[in-house]
Amino acid sequence: MLNDKSILITGGTGSFGRHFIRTVLKNYSPKRVIIFSRDEWKQHEMRSGEFNHPCLRYFIGNVRDRNRLYRAFDGVDIVIHAAALKQVPTAEYNPFEAIKTNILGAKNVIDAAIDQNVKLVIALSSDKACNPINLYGATKLCADKLFIAANSYARKHSAKFSVVRYGNVVGSRGSVIPLFQKKAGSKVLPITDTRMTRFWITLDQAVELVVFGLTVMTGGEVFVPKIPSMRIIDLAKAICSNCSITTIGVRPGEKLHEVLIPVDESQYTRELENCYIIYPSWKKELLGKSCYDRFQYSSDANTEWLTTEDLKGMLNE
């Protein structure tokens, strides 16, 4: 379905954007792929390296700039919205900047997609959008609601909007894994709390989820992958088995365990083989089977867990 399509990805120079583009160029024959981002140097690095395919277009812009999005979306069939301010401490200290990018930027993407006749839009969300306790999570929850609601006021044959929601990405910039790898040389790894657990997903799995969503979406779905959990203490041991551990305490805005599907959304959740789909209450045609009453998908009560050997294998890949 991606063959001969014009695809645009906001935040295209990020970890997900690069891997998504790499996968699309390997497996499909798109008409063009537009990398929309605000950092000219990162675009230059991509263009000078492996990302010099003739179908690639590099478009400098910011999702805060509504007019620039209108220009970029002209003739585009599919939009993947990956641009965001996602560092929790940064959002706490610069709340208005996070709101401008994550919420107002989402609104701009929606308006441009509807008015420029984009067919499909998938927005990337976060586990922190579930029952948020920090500003980043709150902005992502708000953005999710905007994208789902956009289906109600888009024209009948206009854009369809859906969301994918997943946990920490193995190897992405800003995750704890690069931090642990950097600290391993000192033989001491800082752990916030030995009880802490997190969901983990590879970049391959994240891209597969987006492509799957594009294949089956009819608008309004939140796609949640079935992915394993891991204890942070086990993660540290996998990175450096002979390092000592120091406990520094949970940071402001941080949870012990993350949730991808809260109890309150269980009545709208359907289970498929590879993922869950949270449907809006107004959706009638549903895939999969119903989840049990009071179902919750949380990292501490997961049925699938990563071992240290599993993680080492993922890092080697």
7: CB partners within 8 A, 6+ apart: 24, 30, 32, 33, 34, 76, 77, 78, 79, 80
Rounded Cα distance between 202 and 220, Å, is 25
For 162, phi and psi rounded to 5 degrees? Answer: -140, 175
DSSP, collapsed to helix, strand or coil, labels residue 166 as: coil
Instruction: Clarify whether 128 is annotated catalytic.
Output: yes
Task: For residues 150 and 140, give the distance between their C-alpha atoms in angstroms, rounded to a whole number.
Answer: 15
Cβ–Cβ under 8 Å, residues 273 and 280? no
Please, which residues have CB within 8 angstroms of residue 182's CB and are 6 or more apart in sequence?
Answer: none
Q: Which of 128, 140, 160, 255 is catalytic?
A: 128
Per the document, the length of the chain is 317
User: CA–CA separation, 154 vs 201, rounded Å?
Assistant: 32
Which residues are known to be catalytic?
A: 128
